Amino acid sequence: MTHPRLFDMPLLPHLIIDGLNRYDERPFLFLGDQTISYADVRAHASRFAQALESKGVRKGSRTAVLSANRPEVLYNLCANMLIGSCNTPLHPLGSANDQAYVLEDAQIETLAYDPAVFESRAAQLKEKVPGLKNLVAFGPTKAGEDLNALAASFEAKPLVAPDIGANDLNTIVYTGGTTGRPKGVRQPYRSAAYMTMIQMAEWEWPAEVRFLIATPLSHAAAAFVVPTLQAGGAFVALQGFTPDLFFDAIEKHRITATFLVPVMIYPLLDHPRALTADLSSLQTLFYGAAPMSPTRLREGLEKWGPIFFQCFGQSEAPMALTHLKKAEHDLSKPERLASCGRPSPWVHLALLDEKNQPVAEGGAGEICVRAPLVMEGYNGLPEQTEEAFSGGWLHTGDVGRFDEEGYLYIVDRKKDMIVTGGFNVFPREIEDVISAHPAVAQVAVIGVPDERWGEAVKAVVILRPGHESSDALAAELVAAVKDAKGSVQAPKSVDFVASIPLSALGKPDKKALRKQYWGDQARGVN
């Protein structure tokens, strides 16, 4: 009889331990004026894991993190991997209500937070979420317990991987939802492991990895930990993002790779140092999370050379569904700059029609995938999970087409999601806030093209009789959304109109409404 564990694949805890054990005094993280070695991370990860275990965190326990970039985020990430817990990052720009919803929906018992930035928010969340047992902080705190001090009371031990399987739950990642609440994407350990395998097999890594983290360490940046470790490389983490901080870090640390979303690339291209900064060390600029303007991409290639590498995925199947390699960013074929590349050979990807049948060659269809990186399902949402997995495929909600060379182009979104600055925003959530205002009769929220943000959130509003449009009212509606949902969801503009186009069923016709702002653009994304 074959042993049930015979075919187990190494998972992220195994890969992290293996990478950390390869070196001792070699630097792994530069953050501010701190230089942290591989041995330092090993020791802190062990102590943090023991500290969390002393608070009752076990394999399968639900934990969350809310922090700015600081070394403890990395120690906490590794500690959760050593325990085999299920860790959920909270959106640092999210509202208290949305963060509380995530904590309740994911049944989080332990929240680790940055007291320098989120002390008062942690106290708020403790009041809002009765099931939250432990508040542990990366330093002295009044709202909870000092995790750093607790960890320091333990002796570092050799790192040992937990007894977990590929289908055990690694994380619940929250994405916006059309029902007015975010959906929890249940990612098992196999998902990140398979994504990492594709990254290391297919992505173009420099021989020497010095990786600049300009995004939150607790979110997308974590996806680059294992490839950097396995290459014996180092991270440089920014504690904020400005063009000067970015260019300074590249020059000082001779950065060879980084990851940016398009909304971060645009201000870099527009900055005077785009042409004067010494970027000669930068070999690969990974970008993704939102479509990039082909015009701006051409500008980047002309200014910085062939360093751009695009990846495409979503929370339900992260980062590695397709990629456009550096040499494929070909200025002699400008139309290809609108592509998200070719499908990874490690993923089944098909364009399907409404009956889950392949579309005709050259036709547009919903991008659907099968692979071990696909989520387990949505947390507590069996009907939405069944819909997403219709016909035995993960339905991404993006509509695409292939060209004759096999490059994939995203031409529109099946649903109304807006991607602004790399963040997913769903109109229904914003419409629910604005429609609650006594002056509002009807509202439709759409994304409109924006040079800086890719897409900007626009609210199109019909007022009730007796109310007049004004800048003050527009500001009031924006403030209401910002207060309820956070700054990312807040509309960048509000248009007051007499009518909104309706479909035959009497629903707001978003397609017709979008056309008023998008004109004849070939792509329905920007």
Domain membership of residue 317 (yes or no) is no
Domain membership of residue 322 (yes or no) is no
Q: What single-letter DSSP state applies at residue 500? A: -
Domain membership of residue 445 (yes or no) is yes
Task: Specify whether the CB–CB gap between 303 and 330 falls below 8 A.
Answer: no
Domain membership of residue 4 (yes or no) is no
Task: Specify whether the CB–CB gap between 276 and 303 falls below 8 A.
Answer: no
Q: Which of 301, 298, 261, 287 is closest to 340 using CA atoms?
A: 287
CATH number for position 474 = 3.30.300.30
Domain membership of residue 196 (yes or no) is no
User: Please, what's the largest Cα pairwise distance for the chain?
Assistant: 79
For 126-176, the DSSP string reads HHH-TT--EEEESS--SSSEEHHHHHHTS--------S--TTSEEEEEEE-
Task: Specify whether the CB–CB gap between 290 and 262 falls below 8 A.
Answer: yes
Task: Specify whether the CB–CB gap between 132 and 112 falls below 8 A.
Answer: no
What angle, rounded to 10 degrees, do the helices at 243-253 and 262-270 form? 90
Last residue of one domain, picked from the residues 156, 188, 220: 188
d(CA 510, CA 307): 37
What is the token pair recorded at 289?
A: 């999370």
For 46-57, the DSSP string reads HHHHHHHHHTT-
Distances (CA, A) of 18 to 25, 206, 316, 467: 16, 20, 27, 65
Q: Which of 175, 197, 522, 205 is closest to 339 using CA atoms?
A: 522
Domain membership of residue 121 (yes or no) is yes
pTM of the model: 0.84
pLDDT digit string (tens) for the chain, length 526 residues: 778 888 899 999 999 999 999 999 999 999 989 999 999 999 999 999 999 999 999 999 999 999 999 999 999 999 999 999 999 999 888 889 989 999 999 999 999 999 999 999 999 999 999 999 999 999 999 999 999 999 999 999 999 999 999 999 999 999 854 335 789 999 999 999 999 999 999 999 999 999 999 988 887 667 899 999 999 999 999 988 999 999 999 999 999 999 998 878 888 998 999 999 999 999 999 999 877 878 889 999 999 999 999 999 999 999 999 999 999 999 999 999 989 999 999 999 999 999 999 999 999 899 999 999 999 999 999 999 999 999 999 999 988 999 999 999 988 677 777 888 888 787 877 887 898 898 988 888 999 998 888 899 999 999 988 999 999 999 999 999 999 989 999 999 999 999 888 754 456 778 789 889 987 666 666 6
Last residue of one domain, picked from the residues 133, 158, 188: 188
Structural domain that includes position 473? 418-518
Domain membership of residue 98 (yes or no) is yes
d(CA 173, CA 516): 34
Residue with tokens 């403030």: 479
371-395 burial code (b ≥16 CB/10 A, e <16): bbbbbbbbbebeebbeebbeeebbb
Last residue of one domain, picked from the residues 171, 188, 205: 188
CATH number for position 123 = 3.40.50.12780
The number of domains in the chain is 2
d(CA 417, CA 450): 15
Task: Specify whether the CB–CB gap between 188 and 376 falls below 8 A.
Answer: yes
Query: What's the first-to-final CA gap in the chain, in angstroms?
Result: 55
Domain membership of residue 507 (yes or no) is yes
